[in-house]
Structure 1
Amino acid sequence: MLRIEIDGEPPTVDHFVPGLLANYGHFTAMQVRDRRVKGFDRHLRRLDEANRELYGAGLDAEHVRGLISHALGDVRDAAVRVVVFGMETPSVMVVVRPPASPPATPQRLLSVDYTRPLPHVKHIGGFGQLHHGKRAVAAGYDDALLTAGGVVVEGAIANIAFLDDAGDVVWPQADWLHGITMQLLERELPSRREVVRLADVGRYRGAFLTNSIGVVAVSRIDDVEFPVDADARARVQAAYDAIPADPIEADPMAADPTA
């Protein structure tokens, strides 16, 4: 852990514990490289929209920019999580950790019948996802695949996409979190959404997961094996790599939010 700040200040017990015990709030997670983030404006929009839904008020984008910049200090590359938490008047916590990369090997997923409450909100308190993820690892898989009544929804901490015979990307049509990386790749690759039934995943030529860490191939869902198509994998990765990153500091002369 590099550092944590709450509303631009070092955390105190009085500030941190009440909100932590409430276990109510929302967040976004991003990878910072050279103080830039892919889809940064979308992360800010996610925070604002979730804040309006959970707390009835927007979240000023420039204020959030300033809090992230302040928490980073002189760090150029990091994994950053912005957490808005508390029951009444929310606080904004910025967590700065070492940068992360996607897994080096294709992922094996175990399907479970579970959907997140308010799935369109990236909210805190992901007990169900973590629990099913741990059970999947104990069973010899890498993570869980969330399904609802036999319909594929999303990964435990990622969106999932499939490749059809033409190499186009198929995103499951379901009640999922519309992830930032998914949003970005939908613009860059021939994509469509359709209902994907767990019993039919074998008809696709491949699959991959996307989240803030990047893109990783899927080699297995339950007993269905997917050949890892190197060309298709390279095409998806190239599309992701080509997405420009946005600077965190929109205005280098902006005032320090803690001043």
Structure 2
Amino acid sequence: MRQLVRPRIEINGRPPVAEDVPLPLVNHGHFTAMQVRDGRTRGLDLHLARLDGATRELFGDGLDGDLVRERIRHALADDVSDASVRVIVYWPDGDDAASIVVTVRPPAPDPKSPQSLMSVGYQRPAAHIKHVGGFGQFHYGRTAAREGFDDALLTGHGGVVAESTIANIGFFDGTSVVWPDAPCLHGITMQLLEPRLPDIGIGSRRGPVRLADVTGFEAVFITNSHGVAAIGRVDDMTLPTGHPVVEAAARLYDSVPWDVI
């Protein structure tokens, strides 16, 4: 496999041309992001369902999963088997079908663990959609980085925890992983772990979590397409790390089969 040196972008199965310039400037669309290894990804059916559901909600029509797979394969071509892939969906004014943008970048490394989060009072609009135009996420994520944190933790009224800017967050109470029930995106990694945790003797449930509750949990971790990582600090609160439940969740995610794209 040739090493991917620079990002590769295709729009509807071809390289961008000058007429495509306005497309990414339209701040109304959605996407999914995945790690691809040997032409495969985890949770492919969930990615395709996410794209189809969001296309129906935003634009009133569905998105054919086989077409999405073909677009990804075309962008990977014969020379890239491992990559970070993003599929972005827009619907330009006057067009009778959605436009599919596929970006291919070098594969992401495993996440650093443990990580630190800086809480901010912000929740994404239409949080259940992985939509474009995430100014708030970028702004608070970069603000957190300037303050020495790995990411920002998005919270609502009364310190209700929702998600990080790029990941779901889980809290282990000694029996179950509690996933915040505040408005958030149900990420693919979270969707893969949630029904499988009981298979290894770990409960899984949705419920309210507030910043004031964070230090009362035995372990806190985040999940996204990069993997599972422990959280060792939120603001000035130090959290326990090294709990076996985090490693168990990481192993469980690693055991999820890879689907051929």
TM-score (ref. length: structure 1):
0.92
Q: Which amino acid aligns with 1:195?
A: P
Equivalent of 1:192, from 194, 205, 208?
205
Q: Which amino acid aligns with 1:109?
A: L
Paired residue secondary structure (2:194):
helix
Identity %: 55
Q: CA RMSD in A?
A: 1.2
Conserved? CA contact 1:84–1:93, under 8 Å: yes
1:112-132 residue CA offsets vs partner (Å, 9 max, x unmatched):
010111100000011100100
Conserved? CA contact 1:79–1:100, under 8 Å: yes
Cα separation, 2, equivalents of 1:12 and 1:87: 15
Change (3 A) 1:188 1:233: same
Cα separation, 2, equivalents of 1:174 and 1:120: 10
Cα separation, 2, equivalents of 1:215 and 1:33: 17
Paired residue secondary structure (1:8):
coil
Find the counterpart in structure 1 of residue 228 from structure 2: 215
Find the counterpart in structure 2 of residue 18 from structure 1: 22
Cα separation, 1, equivalents of 2:182 and 2:246: 24
Further displaced range: 32-41 or 80-89: 80-89
User: In the alignment, is residue 36 of structure 1 matched against residue 40 of structure 2?
Assistant: yes
Cα separation, 2, equivalents of 1:138 and 1:36: 35
Q: How much does 1:214 deviate?
A: 1.1
Find the counterpart in structure 1 of residue 71 from structure 2: 67
Q: How much does 1:44 deviate?
A: 0.4
Equivalent of 1:146, from 151, 154, 167?
154
Conserved? CA contact 2:59–2:91, under 8 Å: no
Cα separation, 2, equivalents of 1:13 and 1:187: 45
Structure 1, unaligned runs of 5 or more: 249-259
Equivalent of 2:83, from 78, 82, 93?
78
Cα separation, 2, equivalents of 1:95 and 1:69: 11
Conserved? CA contact 1:18–1:86, under 8 Å: no
Cα separation, 2, equivalents of 1:124 and 1:2: 18
Conserved? CA contact 2:111–2:227, under 8 Å: no
Find the counterpart in structure 2 of residue 7 from structure 1: 12
Find the counterpart in structure 2 of residue 51 from structure 1: 55
Find the counterpart in structure 1 of residue 215 from structure 2: 202
Q: Which amino acid aligns with 2:169?
A: I
Aligned length: 246
1:185-238 residue CA offsets vs partner (Å, 9 max, x unmatched):
001112111100111111001111111111111111112111212422221111
Q: How much does 1:87 deviate?
A: 4.0
Conserved? CA contact 2:174–2:217, under 8 Å: yes
Conserved? CA contact 1:23–1:86, under 8 Å: no
Q: Which runs of 4+ in 1 moved over 4 A?
A: none
Conserved? CA contact 1:20–1:86, under 8 Å: no
